[in-house]
């Protein structure tokens, strides 16, 4: 007998309040809030166990073209290449936690739906897809109860991924991948509050957001670490600027709940106007040019970089959905890659099937 498991988790567009999700930054802010939207540029994991196969482990990243083979006896001591370090560490942790006994041939492979370094939380989403498949395998269950186990799994992937990227990790990306939808995330001492905003807002945002990939990869861990240090070290007025970012996120939530699309755009624009001043290089000349072009086509639109900045993806928000297509065509002609997407109302999904092998 064997088992096949397929897990899938959505990436996210961080609409406002990014970086605030880093501990302990949010402890110094008033009602710290992050708003993000899950999208269907998903990360996927496939786990297959063949009990009749030769004993051993194969780890593979389909999109990065990396593969690693090892014996079960080497699971605790093996060292993976950077592209597979997350795979190995999560497998090791889950096997140890649930006492999963080595048996047969285990193959774990993954594929990311977003470009590398896109700023859409791709590595965190991959972590969630991996932990979903691995937990189902180790516990012998077809599907984790996301509503009751999701918070605990977020803590696992946050801690394991932090050992991979070697800097503090925020947690909004894991929430988007684990729970999906349009979420209001409120960070607090001892616990966090998560709330889905009304599902009818998903279509409204989808029709107003044009998503682009600049072609320039970036490293969110490095950028976030620089912002983290400047906040903790009280450099200049950085804490006051984070307070304004936080206020913009709260303003966005209020506007979305009121279906006030114009004010929502104003809040996104306000967030970006402050965020771009936090550190050199958050924006790029190419992105600044894209935002200027979009403003000519759709006056009053709002542009914002996804993630920590310095490259990767950015989006243009147009209060009037009729302007979105024109913005996409114009920026595509300037060499920016359009990333079509749909909003994802659901988060992590896991499917399990038994086999005869």
Residue with tokens 């999963």: 100
CB neighbourhood size of 303 (10 A) = 24
CB neighbourhood size of 4 (10 A) = 17
Q: Give the 3-state secondary structure of residue 59.
A: strand
Report residue 105 CA to chain centroid gap: 31
* pLDDT given at position 133: 95
Residue with tokens 């490259």: 311
Indicate whether 232 and 302 sit together in one domain: yes
Cα angle 251, 254, 259 (rounded to 5 degrees) comes to 120
CA pair distance 252, 274, nearest whole angstrom: 15
Indicate whether 153 and 15 sit together in one domain: yes
Q: In CATH, what number is assigned to the domain containing residue 121?
A: 3.30.230.10
Indicate whether 189 and 296 sit together in one domain: no
* pLDDT given at position 354: 83
Q: Which residues pair with 194 in a beta bridge?
A: 185
* pLDDT given at position 170: 85
Indicate whether 102 and 147 sit together in one domain: yes
| C-alpha pair distances (Å), 153 with each of 146, 160, 182, 185, 340 | 9, 11, 20, 17, 29
pTM, whole model, 2 decimals? 0.93
Indicate whether 188 and 88 sit together in one domain: yes
Indicate whether 259 and 185 sit together in one domain: no
Tens-digit pLDDT string for the chain (357 aa): 688 999 999 999 999 999 999 999 999 999 999 999 999 999 999 999 988 767 899 999 999 999 999 999 999 999 999 999 999 999 999 999 888 777 789 999 999 998 877 888 999 999 999 999 999 998 886 556 776 788 999 999 999 999 998 887 789 999 999 999 999 999 999 889 999 999 999 999 999 999 999 876 655 555 777 888 899 999 999 999 999 999 999 999 999 999 999 999 999 999 999 999 988 888 888 889 999 999 999 999 999 999 877 778 999 999 999 999 999 999 999 988 999 999 999 999 999 988 876
Indicate whether 100 and 207 sit together in one domain: no
Domains of the chain: total: 2
Q: Is 136 exposed, middle or buried (0-12, 13-18, 19+ CB in 10 A)?
A: buried
Range of the domain at 114: 2-196+344-355
286 close to 311: Cβ distance less than 8 angstroms: no
Indicate whether 112 and 233 sit together in one domain: no
Q: In CATH, what number is assigned to the domain containing residue 222?
A: 3.30.70.890
* pLDDT given at position 309: 73
Indicate whether 178 and 210 sit together in one domain: no
| C-alpha pair distances (Å), 30 with each of 107, 182, 197 | 46, 22, 21
Indicate whether 102 and 57 sit together in one domain: yes
* pLDDT given at position 218: 56
* pLDDT given at position 331: 95
Indicate whether 239 and 310 sit together in one domain: yes
CB neighbourhood size of 51 (10 A) = 14
Determine if residue 328 is left, alpha or beta; phi over 0 gives left, psi from -120 to 50 gives alpha, anything else beta.
alpha
Buried-exposed string 223-253: b where 16+ CB fall within 10 A, e elsewhere = bbbbbbebbeeeeeebeebbbbbbbbbbbbb
Indicate whether 33 and 53 sit together in one domain: yes
Backbone φ and ψ for 35, nearest 5 degrees, come out as -115, 125
According to DSSP, residue 154 is labeled H
* pLDDT given at position 53: 66
CA pair distance 92, 84, nearest whole angstrom: 12
């Amino acid at each position: 007998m064997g088992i096949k498991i397929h897990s899938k988790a959505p990436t996210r567009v961080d609409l406002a309040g990014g970086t605030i999700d880093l501990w302990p930054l949010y402890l110094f802010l008033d009602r710290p809030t992050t708003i993000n939207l899950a999208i269907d540029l998903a990360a996927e994991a496939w786990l297959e166990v063949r009990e009749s196969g030769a004993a051993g482990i194969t780890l593979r990243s389909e999109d990065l073209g990396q593969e690693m083979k090892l014996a079960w006896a080497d699971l605790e001591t093996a060292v993976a290449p950077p592209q597979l370090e997350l795979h190995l560490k999560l497998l090791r942790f889950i096997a140890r936690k649930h006492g999963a006994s080595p048996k047969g041939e285990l193959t774990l492979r993954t594929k990311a739906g977003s470009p590398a370094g896109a700023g859409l939380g791709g590595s965190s989403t991959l972590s969630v897809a991996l932990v979903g498949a691995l937990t189902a395998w180790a516990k012998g269950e077809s599907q984790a109860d996301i509503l009751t186990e999701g918070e605990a799994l977020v803590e696992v992937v946050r801690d394991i991924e932090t050992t991979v990227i070697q800097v503090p990790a925020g947690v909004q990306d894991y929430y988007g991948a684990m729970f999906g939808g349009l979420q209001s995330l409120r960070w607090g001492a001892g616990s966090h509050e998560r709330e889905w905003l009304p599902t009818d807002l998903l279509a409204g945002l989808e029709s107003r957001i044009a998503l682009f990939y600049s072609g320039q990869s970036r490293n969110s861990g490095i950028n976030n670490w620089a912002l983290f240090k400047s906040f903790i070290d009280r450099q200049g007025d950085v804490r006051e600027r984070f307070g304004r970012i936080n206020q913009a996120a709260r303003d966005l939530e209020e506007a979305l709940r009121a279906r006030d699309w114009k004010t929502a755009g104003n809040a996104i624009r306000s967030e970006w106007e402050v965020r771009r001043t936090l550190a050199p290089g958050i924006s790029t000349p190419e992105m600044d040019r894209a935002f200027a072009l979009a403003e000519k086509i759709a006056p009053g639109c709002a542009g914002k970089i996804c993630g920590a900045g310095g490259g990767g993806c950015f989006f243009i928000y147009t209060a009037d959905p009729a302007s979105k297509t024109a913005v996409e065509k114009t920026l595509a002609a300037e060499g920016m890659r359009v990333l079509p997407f749909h909003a994802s109302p659901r988060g992590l999904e896991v499917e399990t099937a038994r086999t005869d092998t």
